[in-house]
């Protein structure tokens, strides 16, 4: 078959130029440099992801990135940043990135609990640990993704968190990534969380913008969790400037008899692609990926996940709730792979969507790829409108339509939120959802279907 070499777009050319300019100064030991070079070569061969790539079918990054913004440089701490940090409710360890660079002076590093160590990624990348390249790469199912390749090539900073065996954390560790938004920039950051055997921890990841200018964000977080660990991950992508284009990758390798739960709340996130590459490294583990997407205006939210049941006796659950209004677009692509010999796999995947008005769209592609026979796997996808009877019942009891709708929608989203294990965080997520709904209610938008 003929190999088609596409013409490079302006953004692709600019990215090549940027990489050539900065690769010498980007942090990294030899193996890390090789990782960067290989990743960039992979990116150059394929270009920016576009709709003819099956895994990027509904998010045309090539079309979205008309130009590549300049790479972010050290930002000054604006009052807006200080204000945002002050408003965040998370006590305990807080690790702050501004424009992708770790800022110890804004972080709470003193009083790190026993068993937890934190390093800026810039330092970790030049450390001598031998498993660095392996850790950074994550599960092999992520290898061919060009969005991630760009991150690998250009990642500058982030945090490298290690939690030693048996450590049980009382409070969450928050990784807060703020965009200064004073200039239009491109931000590439990556964080790593290594949770050893028996660790119990909650990691909160926040991605927000403080200033008015839109950025291009390419973030990644890598989890490696040990046997019998219980790691909860909560991601909040909530305050972004319109025009922001963001790719967030989550890579996780989960040990045996372990639990790994991730929940993502997306609202006011402009254009966002979240991608999950998760692999079972040991048997008898339970993994849950869940989320709520609240979309309006011209927003676009893409959740694409690959769950790799590489070993027997894995349990996986995915549940995404999408509420879509305006001209917004929701995307859910889930692929559950059950490898040969991964017997007794139990997989369940669901995507439920409510479309609020004409103009809103939802694209679902829930896939099963199964090579073992003794498994129970299923997926379901629904697209519908709010239940008219429920609304009518509430309105008959005297609630105005916007309020009745808010109640129905809150209940709909709540079905996924209840999987957030930490009570305070769960309450916080529900409060954010209510805030979004009451804003909608206040502008008296009602569904038109």
Query: Where do contacts with another protein occur on this chain (CB under 8 A)?
Result: 1-2, 54, 340-341, 343, 353, 355-385, 447-449
Of 101 and 349, CB closest to another protein: 349
> To the nearest whole angstrom, how small is the minimum distance from the Cβ of residue 152 to another protein?
27
Of 197 and 365, CB closest to another protein: 365
CA 296-298-303 angle, to 5 degrees, is: 75
Of 71 and 362, CB closest to another protein: 362
Of 196 and 338, CB closest to another protein: 338
Q: What is the Cα–Cα distance from 323 to 330, expressed in whole angstroms?
A: 9
Of 34 and 341, CB closest to another protein: 341
Q: How far from the centroid of its chain's Cα atoms is residue 298's Cα? A: 20
Q: At what angle do helices 10-22 and 30-46 cross, to 10 degrees?
A: 170
> To the nearest whole angstrom, how small is the minimum distance from the Cβ of residue 196 to another protein?
30
> To the nearest whole angstrom, how small is the minimum distance from the Cβ of residue 334 to another protein?
11
> To the nearest whole angstrom, how small is the minimum distance from the Cβ of residue 90 to another protein?
36
Contact 259, 285 (CB under 8 A): yes
> To the nearest whole angstrom, how small is the minimum distance from the Cβ of residue 354 to another protein?
9
Q: Nearest CA to 96 among 13, 7, 9, 204? A: 204
> To the nearest whole angstrom, how small is the minimum distance from the Cβ of residue 364 to another protein?
4
Contact 230, 200 (CB under 8 A): yes
- Total length of the chain: 449
Of 315 and 362, CB closest to another protein: 362
The DSSP secondary structure of 343-372, one letter per residue, reads TT-EEEEEEEEEE-STT-EEEEEEEEEE--
Residues pairing with 177 in the sheet: 97, 207
The DSSP secondary structure of 79-132, one letter per residue, reads HHHHHHHHH----S-EEEEETTEE-GGGSB-TTPPTTEEEEEHHHHHTS--TTH
């Amino acid at each position: 078959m003929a190999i088609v070499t596409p013409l490079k777009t302006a953004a692709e050319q600019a990215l090549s130029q940027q990489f050539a300019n900065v690769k010498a100064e980007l942090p990294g030991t030899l193996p890390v440099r090789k990782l960067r070079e290989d990743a960039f070569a992979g990116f150059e061969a394929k270009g920016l992801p576009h709709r003819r790539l099956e895994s990027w079918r509904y998010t045309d990054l090539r079309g979205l990135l008309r130009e590549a913004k300049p790479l972010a440089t050290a930002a000054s701490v604006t009052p807006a940043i200080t204000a945002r940090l002050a408003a965040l409710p998370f006590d305990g360890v807080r690790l702050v990135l501004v424009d992708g660079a770790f800022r110890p002076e804004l972080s709470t590093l003193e009083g790190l609990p026993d068993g937890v160590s934190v390093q800026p990624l810039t330092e970790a990348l030049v450390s001598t640990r031998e498993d660095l390249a392996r850790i950074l790469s994550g599960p092999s199912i992520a290898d061919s993704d060009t969005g991630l390749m760009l991150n690998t090539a250009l990642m500058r900073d982030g945090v490298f968190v290690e939690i030693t065996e048996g450590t049980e954390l009382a409070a969450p560790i928050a990784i807060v990534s703020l965009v200064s938004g004073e200039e239009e920039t491109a931000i590439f950051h990556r964080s790593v969380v290594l949770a050893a055997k028996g660790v119990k921890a909650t990691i909160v990841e926040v991605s927000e913008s403080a200033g008015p200018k839109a950025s291009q964000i390419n973030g990644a977080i890598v989890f490696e969790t040990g046997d019998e660990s219980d790691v909860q991950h909560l991601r909040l992508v909530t305050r972004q400037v319109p025009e922001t284009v963001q790719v967030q990758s989550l890579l996780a390798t989960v040990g045996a008899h372990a639990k790994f739960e991730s929940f993502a709340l997306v609202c006011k996130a402009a254009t966002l692609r979240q991608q999950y590459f998760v692999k079972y490294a040991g048997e008898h583990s339970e993994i849950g990926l869940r989320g709520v997407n609240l979309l309006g205006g011209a927003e676009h939210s893409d959740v694409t996940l690959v769950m790799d049941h590489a070993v027997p006796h894995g349990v996986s659950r995915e549940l995404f709730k999408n509420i879509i209004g305006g001209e917004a677009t929701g995307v859910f692509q889930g692929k559950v792979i059950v490898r040969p010999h991964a017997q007794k796999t139990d997989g369940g995947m669901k995507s439920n969507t409510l479309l609020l008005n004409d103009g809103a769209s939802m694209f679902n592609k829930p896939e099963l790829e199964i090579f073992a026979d003794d498994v129970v796997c299923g997926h379901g996808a629904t697209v519908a409108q709010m239940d008219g009877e429920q609304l009518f019942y509430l309105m008959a009891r005297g609630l105005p339509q916007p309020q009745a709708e808010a109640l129905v929608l809150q209940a709909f989203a709540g079905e996924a939120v209840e999987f957030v294990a930490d009570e305070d965080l769960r309450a916080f997520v529900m409060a954010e959802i209510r805030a979004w709904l009451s804003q909608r209610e206040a502008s008296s938008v009602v569904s038109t279907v």
